[in-house]
Amino acid sequence: MIQKLGKCYIEVIKESIVKRIALPSNEVISQISEETGITEATLYK
């Protein structure tokens, strides 16, 4: 689960999640949500 981190780390995490969502892979939003602790609704934004 992602906890409060410095702004620099948050940007790196955000970029990696966006890449995982954007790439044509077998990962689904629900799996990423479960791994990161970020709700599916937030990931869809």
- Secondary structure (3-state) at 26: coil
2 found inside a domain = no
Q: What is the maximum alpha-carbon separation in the chain?
A: 30
Whether this prediction's pTM lies above 0.75 is answered by: no
Q: What is the mean pLDDT of the chain?
A: 82
The whole domain housing 19 covers: 7-44
Total tally of structural domains belonging to the chain: 1
Task: Give residue 21's identity as a one-letter amino acid code.
Answer: I
Place of tokens 């409060």: 4
Which band of pLDDT confidence, cut at 50, 70 and 90, is reported for residue 3? low
Q: What pLDDT is stored for residue 12 in this prediction?
A: 86
In a domain, 1, yes or no: no
The amino acid present at 1, given as its one-letter code, is M
Residue 37 is classified by DSSP as T
The residue that leads in pLDDT, 28 or 4, is: 28
Band (44; pLDDT cuts 50, 70, 90): confident
* Residues whose CB falls within 8 Å of the CB of residue 24, separated by 6 or more in sequence, listed in order: none
In a domain, 16, yes or no: yes
Residue 34 clears pLDDT 90, i.e. is over it: yes
